[in-house]
Amino acid sequence: MSDIKQLIENNQRWSEATTKADPEFFNKLSKRQNPEYLWIGCSDSRVPANQIVDLLPGDIFVHRNVANLVVHTDFNCLSVLQYAVDILQVKHIIVCGHYGCGGVEAALVNNKLGLIDNWLGHIRDLATKYKEELAPLQGQEKVNRLCELNVLEQAINVRRNAIVQEAIGRGQELQIHSWIYSLNNGHIKDLESHN
Ligand code: CO
């Protein structure tokens, strides 16, 4: 789809169909959002949050960046986290990576891509941290294991964050999930219940 006008046409068709299915849909959503989930995922165009868990607009608060990182000094991510936890009071924080993540792969092969190399340095650090576990693995297997380790690590970063710690400390109901999505078959795997 190369014609940008097509997107506006798609939008009009979608809004009409949505209104037809639920005449109050936009009216309700325009008043407030009340999502139960915060999604922290990769920017990859093949991993759209709402679509892969089959949720509607209003159901999920979303933060996406290259390789689904939760960096302690990233005020963008932290602002999303704070708003989601303190104001929206989401009940679940989902860190969802995906196999074959280009960001993870780029960090492993050490190609020079420009500014983004600084961002991917976080994954290089992770590859160093887990180098013994990764050493016997090759190619895509190595990339995919680092994709999993990255999700688990970012979920730890969420759990350790002061915003989350304070919320849990005051008894707020909050669960953190480590998920990974497979581009091959569209399935999500829960890494914590499978490891
Ligand atoms: Co990715």
Q: What is the rounded distance in angstroms from the CA atom of residue 184 to the CA atom of residue 62?
A: 23
Give residue 2's pLDDT.
65
Give residue 174's pLDDT.
96
pTM as predicted: 0.94
| CA 187 to mean position of chain CA atoms | 15
**Contact yes or no for 95/178 (Cβ under 8 A):** yes
Query: Is 96 in the active site?
Result: no
Give residue 193's pLDDT.
63
Query: Is 74 in the active site?
Result: no
Give residue 156's pLDDT.
97
Query: Is 44 in the active site?
Result: yes
Distance from the CA of 95 to the center of ligand 1, in angstroms?
Answer: 12
Give residue 112's pLDDT.
83
Torsion angle of C-alpha atoms 17, 23, 25, 30, degrees rounded to 10: 110
Query: Is 46 in the active site?
Result: yes
Among residues 42, 77, 96, 147, the one annotated as catalytic is 42
Residues of the chain falling short of pLDDT 70: 1-2, 193-195
Distance from the CA of 26 to the center of ligand 1, in angstroms?
Answer: 31
Give residue 194's pLDDT.
44
Q: Which residue has the tokens 């050490």?
A: 110
